[in-house]
Amino acid sequence: MPNPSNTPRPNDPPTANHAACTTPGVDPDLWFSDHPTDRTRAKRLCAGCPLLDPCRAYGLDTDQLWGVWGGLDRADRRRILRGVVCGTETALKIHRRYGERCTVCETAHDRRVETRRRQSLAAAHARGGTAASAQLHRKLGEPVCAPCRRAELAAEEARRRARGIPPRDARTGDGRTRGSGTPSVGAHTTAQAA
Ligand code: SF4
Ligand SMILES: [Zn+2]
Ligand SMILES: [Zn+2]
């Protein structure tokens, strides 16, 4: 938001006096803060500043290391100067380095991760399902298909066997062997008959 008392008339060239960052009551440290929230506030104020374009050009031309210039912080200038556009992994890494959130980059990243997971899942299904692909189903927020679940159970049983643990009981699913802990159907029937 520009300083209302200093807003230039239509044909006046803007000068430093018109800068939104010099508006009384506005903390000038916002433009040089390490905190992303402060920088976002500074950028919003820049958006209404009559000096936006020349200030942005100055920040880019002189490759300013610090501060928000014309609505761009250091990370924004880096991206522009390197020709990095939002939506790429490189742009996302730069955002993360500077503690920024970017919906465009994060959405694009999530889509790429999902595509990779679906490709891995399709390859695992072509092999009849695997324990790892059961996890992929869960990461994708969907139920585990029967072949993947079977592969997962088989892998779990193989691990139990390797450690000398008795096989999981197919009915109780808790690792108890038949006849252990609870009376068998036969013993129960016999006791009732006695
Ligand atoms: S555009 Fe430049 S002069 Fe205007 S508020 Fe932002 S930093 Fe200040
Ligand atoms: Zn981005
Ligand atoms: Zn599956």
Strand segments, DSSP code E, in 37-183 are: none
Q: Are 87 and 106 in contact (CB under 8 A)?
A: no
Contact assessment for residue 175 and residue 165, using Cβ atoms and an 8 Å cutoff: yes
Of 124, 129, 71, 77, the closest CA to residue 98 belongs to: 77
Residue 165, token pair as written in the block: 């643990």
What integer pLDDT is reported at residue 172 of this predicted model?
52
DSSP 140: T
21 marked as binding residue: yes
Given pLDDT bands bounded at 50, 70 and 90, which one contains residue 80?
A: confident
Contacts of 58 (CB under 8 A, 6+ apart): 64, 69, 70
| pLDDT recorded at residue 129 | 95
Q: How far apart are CA 70 and CA 54, in angstroms?
A: 8
Beta-carbon contacts of 50 under 8 Å, excluding residues fewer than 6 positions away, are 2, 7, 8, 14, 18
CA 46 to ligand 1: nearest atom: 6
pLDDT of res. 65: 86
Least confident of 19-28, 101-110, 180-189: 180-189
Q: Which two tokens stand for residue 168?
A: 């999981």
Residue 83 clears pLDDT 50, i.e. is over it: yes
CB of 72 shorter than 6 A to ligand 1: no
Q: Is 30 in the pocket of ligand 1 (CB under 6 A)?
A: no
Q: What is the pLDDT of residues 139-162, one digit of tens each?
A: 999 999 999 999 999 999 999 999
pTM: 0.51
At 189, the pLDDT band (50, 70, 90 cuts) reads very low
Whether 163 shows a pLDDT value over 50: the answer reads yes
- Nearest ligand to the CA atom of 133: 3
